[in-house]
Structure 1
Amino acid sequence: MSFRTILSVVGMSQGDRDVQVATDLCSEVGAHLSVFLVAMAPPPTGRYETLAPAWLEHRDRCRQELTEKVEQLRNRLASIGLSFDVESIFSDFAGVGYDIGERALYADLIVVGPAACEDEDLKRQIVAGGLFQAGRPLLFCAPGKTATLKPKTVLLAWDSRPQAARAVRDALEIMKAAGSVHVAMVDPASVPRASGDEPGADVAVYLARHGIRVTVDILPSTGRSVAAVLQKHALEIGADLIVMGAYGHSRLREFMFGGTTRAMLDETSFPVLMAH
């Protein structure tokens, strides 16, 4: 997939850093930048607080600040000469994911900047709306390393599941332009319905047919989590980007008990492109 429209979902108080990351990515690939500025209404703390003048005044101030922030962003981006648009939403927390999903239908990629990665509430809403409702790939740009859509080395986390295959298709153009792609498999099972007799061979052949320079790396977990193994290997090979499928188990199960997706979102310092 070529990324012609990149959506950056940003929060009110931390938008500048994330917009800059998205701006740099759009400039790198010549994409249109669509900024979606999200302001979540403060939740009432009491049964009748929604009728209290102080609470209503606070909501009005939030709306005014949102209007001012949109104008500031438009002026800032206009001075860069980048193709862009800026939209905003003032929403109750419960409805934010739906609003993000509606907006994400018209984007090729959603960028989750460093500040959004650190905001658990906003990050959860972006995943719900962008990944599950709109079915768009998400690029998580965690603090610690500069994100790029032109990586030299890509680590593809492969587990022979449909989610991983979707990530491959979404990142195909990125991997075709990369210098090397490492297909990383952690404790793969050599069974016909999973990885076949030679784990990783099928996806390696598929990638090679697209002209991708690919290496298959079989990694033992030795008691470590899959996320820890992948991150260590990404460091060892000098990866610029990790590509992986998201939520092989149910979202509820991973939210309650943890899983590779959640661990990668919470712990990695590498940019991660996820698809579902």
Structure 2
Amino acid sequence: MAFRTILAVTGPHEGDGDLKPAADLCNEIGAHLAVLVVAVAAPPPVGEYAAVVSEAWLDERRAVEDLLKKRTADLSAFLAGSVLSADVSSEYPEAGWADDTIGRRARYADITVIGPELLANETLKSKAIEGALFSSGKPLLLIPAGAQPTLKPKRVLIAWDARLEASRAVRESLGLLPGADEVHLVMVDPVEDEYRHGAEPGADAAAYLARHGVNVTVDRLPKLDHSVVDVLRRHALDIAADLMVMGAYGHSRLRERIFGGVTVSMLEDPSMPILMAR
């Protein structure tokens, strides 16, 4: 699928560090840049009979609304002076439905981009990630600090576990993969069975990709005494991958938050650009 609209999520207190990589991606592939400025509203303090008791909260809310308007206007003026096709909008949702608000906006883009500044904002980061993954039906691209993202990658690592989420991530990245010099379909300790990987782990997925013109190599790696995340990261370095593709939340969000998981570990510390889908 071709990416024609890229959504960049930012906050009213963030700088332009997240917009530059998103704009560069749009310029790289000729896409439209949609910018969403989001502030998460603090819940109102309430007293007896749910009466609002804090004038300070009302003042804070007005101040944030003014900041959102200014940030939106500044970004609109900045982008109006560029050759890039772009639009800017803002939202000020309550915390309880901020992820749904972001997800609804992401439905009208082909991919959501979250850059290094937003990744450092824990509250807005979690809302943007969950909104993109669970409420949009579209993929998500994480760009950590120091990374040079591209939507024309030359070496791609696909984290393959034969789950539905991994299949969806592969499908969402099909527009990028045929142009890559190398695509590594990576499995960590795959089990040969009829329910997931089949008699020859990776063979079916590799054949599917090859029919789409992808130059694919199957890598089966042992975990040994390392975590799956560490194995994937090390292999990405070994092959000099410029993009990782993976499914997100093969288990429930609650289970991953309590017991940990590959998705949570990657989200906490993405070491390279990662395209996720669910």
TM-score normalised by L of structure 2: 0.95
Distance in 2 between residues matched to 1:66 and 1:111, nearest whole Å: 20
2:132 corresponding residue in structure 1: 130
Structure 2 gaps of 5+ residues are: none
Measured against aligned partners, the alpha-carbon deviations of 1:153-183 in whole angstroms (never above 9, x if no partner) come to: 0000000111001001100011111111000
| Alignment of 1:226 onto 2:228 | yes
Equivalent pairs, count: 276
Letter in 1 for 2:86: F
Identity %: 50
8 Å Cα contact 1:35-1:86 kept in structure 2: yes
Measured against aligned partners, the alpha-carbon deviations of 1:132-162 in whole angstroms (never above 9, x if no partner) come to: 1111100011113111111110000000111
Give matches, 1:1-276, under 5 Å.
Answer: 1-44=1-44, 47=47, 50-276=52-278
Letter in 1 for 2:218: V
TM-score normalised by L of structure 1: 0.96
User: 1:257: Cα distance to partner?
Assistant: 1.6
CA pair 45-147 structure 1, distance change in 2 beyond 3 A: farther
Moved more, 119-128 or 150-159: 119-128
Moved more, 37-46 or 188-197: 37-46
8 Å Cα contact 2:202-2:218 kept in structure 1: yes
Distance in 2 between residues matched to 1:30 and 1:15, nearest whole Å: 24
8 Å Cα contact 1:231-1:268 kept in structure 2: no
SS of residue in 1 equivalent to 2:200: coil
Letter in 2 for 1:57: D
8 Å Cα contact 1:116-1:123 kept in structure 2: yes
CA pair 180-91 structure 1, distance change in 2 beyond 3 A: same
User: 1:128: Cα distance to partner?
Assistant: 2.2
Distance in 1 between residues matched to 2:52 and 2:236, nearest whole Å: 49
**What's the Cα RMSD here?**
1.4
Measured against aligned partners, the alpha-carbon deviations of 1:81-121 in whole angstroms (never above 9, x if no partner) come to: 11011000112111211111111111100001111122222
Letter in 1 for 2:247: G
Letter in 2 for 1:5: T
Distance in 1 between residues matched to 2:90 and 2:70, nearest whole Å: 11
8 Å Cα contact 1:8-1:34 kept in structure 2: yes
Letter in 1 for 2:164: P
CA pair 12-69 structure 1, distance change in 2 beyond 3 A: same
Distance in 2 between residues matched to 1:128 and 1:143, nearest whole Å: 20
